[in-house]
Amino acid sequence: MNQEHKDPLHGKTLEFIVQYLVSYFGWEELSSIININCFKSNPSIKSSLTFLRKTPWARKKVEDLYISLIQ
């Protein structure tokens, strides 16, 4: 029985999502869409992941942006 998951985030790591968004928008455009310092000031995947894992509201914005792009 092959059931598809309805959750678009199923199987996607936060690192995958951030890398996808950075490759799609670039840091500058991403920081203008989601106004958080980890995307503006000396951005890196590692620093962004550290911040997003500790900050649920920011992680939700990132996940929502990803979902809007893939649907």
pLDDT at 39: 96
Largest CA distance in the chain: 47
pLDDT at 6: 86
Nearest to 18, CA basis, from 42, 2, 34, 1: 34
Q: Where are the domains of the chain?
A: 14-70
3-state secondary structure of 32: helix
pLDDT at 1: 47
pLDDT at 4: 65
Fold category of 14-70 in CATH: 1.10.720
Q: Are 19 and 45 in contact (CB under 8 A)?
A: yes
pLDDT in tens, the chain (71 residues): 455 678 899 999 999 999 999 999 999 999 999 999 999 999 999 999 999 999 999 999 999 999 999 98
